[in-house]
Amino acid sequence: MDRPADVGHAHLRVVRPSDDLAANVMFYRDGLGFEVLSEFRDHDGFDAVMLGRKDAAYHLAFVHKAGRVPSEDNLLVFYLPDAEEWKRAVTRLEELGHKPVKAFNPYWDKKGKTFEDPDGYRVVLQHARWPA
């Protein structure tokens, strides 16, 4: 019998539809410090931008598509155990005009702050170490 693929070591892309690619670039690049890794326009009718870090095992892709689909519990959670780093991340988003929102699950408000990106998806900056 073949051994199953080791997906745990694969590079992960999280793809989300977006109504405003430029606003998402500002949120994730300027607010959270991601880099634009790649982007394309009118590839079979789709526009997209990929953001992340060159050395990370994941990246985010936003694809232009009309319509908002997120729920209040559709989250990206970033664990930031260093207090100063966490404060800087929160401050960067607030300085860009993003205000924290009340988390759908109150667990995230105990040690973190939740923000909505321009498409309504939620990002939690959790002041804790994983595993918490």
Is 34 among the domain residues?
yes
Question: Taking the model in full, what pTM does it have?
Answer: 0.81
Residue 33 belongs to domain spanning: 7-126
Longest dimension (CA), the chain: 55
pLDDT higher than 90, residue 126: yes
| Phi and psi angles of residue 73, each rounded to the nearest 5 degrees, phi first | -115, 20
Is 132 among the domain residues?
no
Number of domains in the chain: 1
| Phi and psi angles of residue 25, each rounded to the nearest 5 degrees, phi first | -60, -45
Is 2 among the domain residues?
no
Digit-coded pLDDT (tens) for 80-96? 999 999 999 999 999 99
Is 102 among the domain residues?
yes
Is 117 among the domain residues?
yes
Instruction: Return the pLDDT at 106.
Output: 92
Is 80 among the domain residues?
yes
User: What's the CATH number where 30 sits?
Assistant: 3.10.180.10
